[in-house]
Structure 1
Amino acid sequence: MRTILTAGAILTLAVLPIFAPWLQFVLTLAIAKGLAALGVAVLLRGGLISIGHAMFFAASAYSVAFLARAGVNDFGVLLVLAVLTAALVGAVAGSFLVRYRAIFFAMLNLAVSMVFYALCAKLYGVTGGTDGMPIPIPGIFGIAMAEPVFKSVLFYLSLMLMVLVGFAVQRYLNSPLGHALSAVHTNEIRLEYLGIPVWAVLLVAYVISAALAGLGGAIGGFAIGRVVPDLAFWTASGHLVLIAVLGGIGGVPGAFLGALFLELLHSVAASVTDAWNLIVGMALIIAIMFMPQGLYGLFSRKEASSL
């Protein structure tokens, strides 16, 4: 039943832009943020809240811009290198940060990300400062494309990556390493007594979460066509945490459900009134109050009740 529902949801997303072309950009951005929020959700499985994951989102987008400036013009190469850049930054930062827990972990992530934001905003000669850097349209398998065609291809490639990455992350969470991550949250001391290195378990999770945020950042950069320091600001990190919590961390689809809900709600509310923040805020309060396990928890309960 769950497989049928998932396949139906993916098929619906694939055909929506055909009937409503304006949804193509919204859905692409939602997938990008969903991937980044999935990285946050992975850490939440271990009881760690990162209020700084937008740093990896922005670092990946900036790496795409720098590589494009250096002459790299292949979409696949840019995407892979951007994800590797985010993973490398995650490995360096995570080797220090995963030693901390609770509020200390959250605040240190925030501090590191704000240092990164300040560097991006102040190094005008390197990053373009607050004006940011353009991301040109790359070729795909050596084929140059016009912008409308590229954006359509980007959407369907993003959709495919969402499915493949979601499946891979689900396998990771169901693996012994993923179960060890959950055990860190429930009983870290017992895990240490069993001889399992908690630091290594958390570092692997942190690098994976950074790579996921990097993948989302690269897709978001291609979709927007420009990278600016605000992508690394603390509000962007808070937005990713909100998406993860709203969608629910009970399953991989939760991050994407939360991202789709927020992006669609924002787009519709902004087209109706200038007070769209009020509408979005009220909807979030209602969702959080009546769905403590997130949107994925709501669908899981309906599925369980139908069995």
Structure 2
Amino acid sequence: MRTGLIAFLLALLLLAGVPFYAGNITVFATMCIAKSLAVLGILVLVRADQVSFGHAMYFAIGAYAAAFLSTAYRDIDLTFLVLAAVAASLLAGLVVGLFVTRYRGIFFGMINLAFSMVLYSVLEKAFHLTGGSDGMRIRRPTFMGMEFKRGEFDLLMFYVVLAVAALCFVLVWRYLRSPLGQALRAVKTNETRLEYLGLSARRVLLVGYLVSAVLCGLGGVFMGTVQGLATPEHAFWSRSAELVFIAVLGGQGHVAGAFAGTVIFETVRTFAAAILHDSWQLILGVVLIGIILWAPGGLVELWHRARSARRSPPAAPATRSQTAEARK
């Protein structure tokens, strides 16, 4: 635990210095952190052995909440956009969650996918309300009543997203270690035993579902505000599959896997697109398949392997007597 805390603080300090030693990737780092919040939401559900192929709908809800509010109120504050995204994703998660938490396994994943595709169709077809496939512009909000130029706003967004993400990672870590979070793991192993303890498996899963929906909504509002745009593509099935893939890539064992997986995924995709514009998916696929085959537990497993290799002392050379005994 102490080692993990030190690693977390060092990573936080390293990220906080990005604008100073690598200012040209500040926006890229902000988008990675924002997407890692959505991946963190997927990891919460994976803890209960449930995979949602439609959680991108909450990503889109967060982005469109910011778009509608910034259109209606030109000088709205960033704080209100974030609160609105949290409220909208929480409400949508409650409505959908009351229905989907009745199911498990593939049915849970596919019903979420169905809701997501319904939302995608509405966003794309309701052109007069949502701008259709062109999406909606998200105006640059103020922060604490102050307006910022583009460069200043990018720097502000980086530190706001970093602070919110750090808080969310700590809260989710504590939640997963709490009795309620342990009950979420029990949904995976033995629901009947959980019911004998007096806990409703459906309610436990619903709480986890709401947590994941809010995290995806936060990722969506931050991503949309940084990009200045909300599009129906945010709710498309491929975005949901991308979030699940990153969660598997990062590893299910620790919340840090959400951020590590997102950084690796986005970095490989960016460089692959620069090297081979027309077939960047080929490079991305080969690299990521290699990582998953080498470490099925994701990047978290690689980290634990490296720590174990450093801690384990080298084997002492066998003496002649030991060798003779072994031959006998």
TM-score by length of 1: 0.97
2:296 is aligned to 292
Question: What amino acid is aligned across from residue 228 of structure 1 in structure 2?
Answer: T
Residue 161 of structure 1 deviates from its aligned partner by 1.2
Paired residue for 1:281?
Answer: 285
User: What are the Cα deviations for residues 137-169 of structure 1, in whole angstroms up to 9, with x where unaligned?
Assistant: 100000000111111110111111111110000
Shift of 1:23: 1.2
Length, aligned pairs only = 307
1:1-307 correspondence runs (5 A): 1-71=3-73, 73-274=76-277, 275-307=279-311
Partner of 2:315: none
TM-align CA RMSD = 1.2
Q: Is the 1:62–1:227 contact (alpha carbons within 8 Å) kept by the matching residues of 2? A: yes
In structure 2, what is the Cα distance between the partners aligned to 1:83 and 1:232? 17
Uncovered stretches (5+) of structure 2, i.e. residues with no partner? 312-328
Q: Which amino acid counterpart does residue 59 of structure 2 have in structure 1?
A: F
Q: Percent identity?
A: 45
Q: Take 2:308 and 2:68, find their aligned partners in 1: how far apart are those partners?
A: 48
Q: Which amino acid aligns with 1:298?
A: L
Is the Cα–Cα contact under 8 Å of residues 40 and 240 in structure 1 kept in the other structure?
A: yes
Equivalent position SS for 2:23: coil
- Secondary structure (helix, strand or coil) at the match of 1:22 reads helix
Cα distance change, pair 22–276 in 1 and its aligned pair in 2 (3 A)? farther
CA distance in structure 2 between the partners assigned to 1:304 and 1:174 by the alignment: 23
Give the Å deviation of 1:305: 4.2
Larger Rg: 2
Cα distance in 1 between the residues matched to 2:187 and 2:305: 26
- Alpha carbons 1:39, 1:213 under 8 Å: kept: yes
Distance (whole Å) between structure 2 residues aligned to residue 105 and residue 76 of structure 1: 33
SS in structure 1 opposite 2:53? coil
RCO higher in structure (CA 8 A, sep ≥6): 1
Q: Contact conserved, 1:26 with 1:264, CA < 8 A, in 2?
A: no
State the TM-score, normalizing by the size of structure 2.
0.91
Structure 2 Cα separation of the partners of residues 159 and 304 of structure 1: 30
